[in-house]
Structure 1
Amino acid sequence: MIGTTLAAISDHIEALSSETGEYSLVCARYGDRPVPAAGLRFESRAAARAAARATEQYRDALRRYDPQVPYYDVIVRQEYAGDEGVDRGVCDGSADGDAGSGRSAGDAHDVRRFSATEAADWSLSDPAVGHDPGPNPDSSRDPEPNPAPSRDLVGFCHDAAAAVFEALSAGDHDAVESAVMDAYFAFAEERSDPDGLCLRLLEAMAFELRRGLEPTEQAAVLADAASRLPVAPDADPVAGAFERLAGAGVVGSYAADSGGDEPPAESVVVHVSDYALTPRDGRFPTLPVALELCRHGDRSPPRAVRVDAVEGGWRLGIDTASGDEPSGLTSAPIRE
């Protein structure tokens, strides 16, 4: 669906960064640091401007998959350690290097006032637009029990979803693409947390791929999607896949059954806890697991993924042998 993948743009921004740089990117409207450049620093103003342009390209592309992504006015900001560890900034212009808009060098949050006309062009999911985020007098109606996902988890979900969307487009699965977005919008109406919607998008994909594609078609889409992500071959694909899932926060922890000193079997059991995606209608969304197994292996998905509910989490049975029709690659029934 897009010529340059989100992963490639993110890698480009990462390559421009420097641990000791004085420049960073922020939103001029209210000081947020935009993904995927959040937390990164840049050695020169020119590098930071290039990263700002790439960040806007990333977010424009991402908005084709997730229309709720906030609109940011990305600017370059020069920072240095101030008194008591507070950063003070000298602000450059927008991503194209325009002159600043009256912001003082001592404005730590780099916020400027904006007009109603400007606000009308922004997404209502922006924290500064559409509602007052003050105390909720009846929080029991919208508990939102889960904390906001980390930057790593948001990035993982966006990259995975983009790769799957591109694979669906390449495979002419237009009906499934539309079904995913319809399900995603239904999820979005249930939540007020914009960052958490990236998880709902991945869940929608998991369930709609199962409903709309035959098992062999699901396997082909996953293999294609894995080929669009950075290569990560691993001598032990299962260990590599779950290490990545744990590092991104998709699972809180994992432990594989050792199976003694014998060579790895074609069936592996992995126990996981704190899975970030939500099971629905008795089914467990296995799509991120199968996608990572593809990416860390030979780019082909496992034959089957089985899921059992156990105390403290889940037990995943993964069959890596080929032959029979695949099953459980995008979602699997939960066995009690």
Structure 2
Amino acid sequence: MVGHTLLDIRARLAELSVAVGPYRVVSAKTGHSPVPVSGLQFPTRATAAEAASVATAYRTALRRYDPAVRVQDLIACDRGLSPTDSRLPADDLPEYCHSITAALLETLSRQDGRVQRTVMDRYLEAAETTPDRDRLSLLLIESLAEAIDSHYATRRQYELLRATADRLPGPAETETPVRETLSVLRSTDLLRDFEIGPAPSGGHRVGLHGYRVRDRDGDCIVLPIAVELLRRQSPPPRFGDATRTVDGWTVRLVSAAETPEPSLAIVPSA
């Protein structure tokens, strides 16, 4: 099954690549393109970012058989830029989703392979029938959130997402992490707009309008919000409850003193 999956992943990379293109996938540290993206070029930054996610999963699977395969932070890079220059905030939805996906898959590379296999199996199946690149990139986020919520307790979720946030180009800690987080999500078109207000029982009540991440069984997927918050603050975010609205969700961010600890990937609806 694993061998078949590796062949499928290589086939997907071949579909994404072109003979001559302005983008490639490289190691953020060395600037070189490792297996399985060595020599491949891509037509857009979004397809290169998708290829980085796919290649990360490939190398994670390969590492189970060959521990000498190095851990690499793979990123999309313009052929005319250095890897450092390419690590700018993503400016479209597919690139943003795949940046988070690649970082989280690489974080999981040292863990049990169940999550990686579950996510990639779903992705490869959807890639055959989903022409919309935005929807496909969102599906990866949704699949990761569901798998993490199912396999890991909250403390372990925090460790994984903290390590993922550290792999991404991170802004300094700020006095307004919630507002800056939601502003980034709006700029990448993950949500149309937002509003922030005080919650009656403490913390923040956050309105997410036009939130494009689909819910799981009526619950709200908050994984990208959690990762963005962790890029801007040290304490882990804590989500209280979520309420479905006409055009999105209202989510409560609570103080660290509240218990029990909720999931950082999916918040149950109130």
TM-score (norm 2): 0.66
Map of 1:34 onto structure 2: 44
1:207-226 to 2 correspondences below 5 Å: 207-226=146-165
The Cα shift of 1:183 comes to 2.7
The Cα shift of 1:236 comes to 1.2
Please state whether the residue corresponding to 1:269 is helix, strand or coil. strand
The answer on whether the counterparts of 2:52 and 2:102 sit within 8 Å (CA) in structure 1 is no
In 2, Cα distance between the equivalents of 1:322 and 1:229? 28
Residue 247, structure 1, aligned to residue 182, structure 2: no
Map of 2:204 onto structure 1: 268
Give the residue type in structure 1 aligned to 2:52: A
Map of 1:155 onto structure 2: 95
Map of 1:63 onto structure 2: 54
Q: Deviations over 1:42-79 (max 9, x none)?
A: xxxxxxxxxxxxx7xx6753431588xxxxxx999xxx
In 1, Cα distance between the equivalents of 2:57 and 2:27? 17
In 2, Cα distance between the equivalents of 1:326 and 1:3? 38
Pair 164,211 (structure 1): closer, same or farther in 2 beyond 3 Å: same
Pair 324,167 (structure 1): closer, same or farther in 2 beyond 3 Å: farther
Map of 1:178 onto structure 2: 117
The answer on whether the counterparts of 2:145 and 2:221 sit within 8 Å (CA) in structure 1 is yes
Please state whether the residue corresponding to 2:256 is helix, strand or coil. coil
Map of 1:42 onto structure 2: none
The Cα shift of 1:259 comes to 6.8
In 2, Cα distance between the equivalents of 1:227 and 1:203? 21
Pair 75,223 (structure 1): closer, same or farther in 2 beyond 3 Å: closer
The Cα shift of 1:293 comes to 1.1
Give the residue type in structure 1 aligned to 2:55: R
Q: Deviations over 1:263-284 (max 9, x none)?
A: xx96111111111111132222
In 1, Cα distance between the equivalents of 2:240 and 2:258? 14
Pair 64,212 (structure 1): closer, same or farther in 2 beyond 3 Å: same
In 1, Cα distance between the equivalents of 2:239 and 2:212? 21
Identity of aligned residues (%): 25
Residue 238, structure 1, aligned to residue 196, structure 2: no
The answer on whether the counterparts of 1:305 and 1:328 sit within 8 Å (CA) in structure 2 is no
Pair 297,201 (structure 1): closer, same or farther in 2 beyond 3 Å: same
Map of 1:197 onto structure 2: 136
TM-score (norm 1): 0.54
In 1, Cα distance between the equivalents of 2:165 and 2:265? 14
Which of 281, 284, 301 in structure 1 is aligned with 2:217? Answer: 281
Which of 257, 267, 270 in structure 2 is aligned with 1:332? Answer: 267
Map of 1:134 onto structure 2: none
Pair 320,157 (structure 1): closer, same or farther in 2 beyond 3 Å: farther
Q: Deviations over 1:152-211 (max 9, x none)?
A: 1111101111111111114x1321111221232344355232443111111100111111
Pair 210,175 (structure 1): closer, same or farther in 2 beyond 3 Å: same
Pair 330,227 (structure 1): closer, same or farther in 2 beyond 3 Å: same
Unaligned runs of 5+ in 2: 1-24, 32-40, 59-77, 81-89
Map of 1:293 onto structure 2: 229
The Cα shift of 1:241 comes to 0.8
In 2, Cα distance between the equivalents of 1:213 and 1:200? 20
In 2, Cα distance between the equivalents of 1:75 and 1:229? 20
Please state whether the residue corresponding to 1:301 is helix, strand or coil. coil
Give the residue type in structure 1 aligned to 2:263: G
Pair 224,246 (structure 1): closer, same or farther in 2 beyond 3 Å: same
In 1, Cα distance between the equivalents of 2:146 and 2:126? 12
Please state whether the residue corresponding to 2:244 is helix, strand or coil. strand
The answer on whether the counterparts of 1:305 and 1:329 sit within 8 Å (CA) in structure 2 is no
